[in-house]
């Protein structure tokens, strides 16, 4: 009598495991783009002023590891993307944005968003973690770097996939 038992189980990495893999990885794609931005702000005396600034936008795409001894991520192409946006304006005004985008099976799964800015009399810092399913229910629109996070992530995802597939 001969019996064979076989089962398949999808194994998904946790954010912590992905961060650990990416920290050690040298297998990523970087794209840095210089930025020139203008923004209208309200000053302490309630007058409006247009600020001009320069900075950069950096996208870092972490790819699967060919040499992962556990072969956990061999089926994934993109496991994480880090996005950093920095614009410095005059007189100490700035916008800093950092977004980690985590993937499961090459599809966006969850986000960590950090935004800090000082523009005129307005200063704000916020950090948000959410899953893609939560974003489908409710859009985030209280960021200075984008009016609609849903739309921003849709456009950024297209850009990320284009960068990834053009560089691999």
Contacts of 131 (CB under 8 A, 6+ apart): 109, 110, 111
pLDDT, residue 106, reads 81
Residue-level pLDDT, tens digit, the chain, 168 residues: 433 433 333 456 788 888 888 888 777 899 999 999 998 888 777 888 899 999 999 999 998 655 555 555 445 578 899 999 999 998 899 999 999 999 987 889 999 999 999 998 889 999 999 999 888 888 888 898 998 999 999 999 999 999 998 876
- The neighbour count for residue 28, using CB atoms within 10 Å, is 15
pLDDT, residue 70, reads 53
pLDDT, residue 44, reads 76
pLDDT, residue 48, reads 87
pLDDT, residue 113, reads 96
Q: Report the chain's terminal Cα–Cα distance, integer Å.
A: 48
Torsion on CA atoms 59, 147, 123, 36, rounded to nearest 10: 50
Locus of tokens 């410095």: 88
């Amino acid at each position: 009598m001969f019996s064979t038992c076989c089962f398949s189980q999808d194994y998904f990495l946790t954010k912590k495991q992905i961060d650990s893999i990416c920290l050690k990885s040298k297998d990523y794609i970087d794209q840095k783009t210089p930025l020139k931005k203008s923004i209208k702000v309200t000053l302490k005396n309630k007058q409006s002023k247009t600020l001009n600034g320069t900075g950069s936008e950096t996208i870092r795409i972490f790819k699967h590891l060919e040499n992962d001894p556990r072969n956990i991520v061999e089926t994934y192409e993109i496991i994480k993307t880090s996005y950093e946006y920095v614009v410095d304006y005059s007189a100490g005004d700035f916008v800093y944005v950092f977004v980690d985008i985590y993937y499961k099976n090459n599809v966006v799964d969850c986000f960590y968003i950090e935004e800090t800015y000082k523009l005129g009399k307005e200063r704000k810092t916020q950090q948000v973690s959410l899953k893609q399913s939560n974003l489908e229910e409710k859009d985030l629109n209280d960021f200075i770097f984008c009016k609609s996070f849903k739309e921003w992530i849709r456009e950024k995802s297209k850009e990320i996939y284009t960068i990834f597939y053009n560089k691999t």
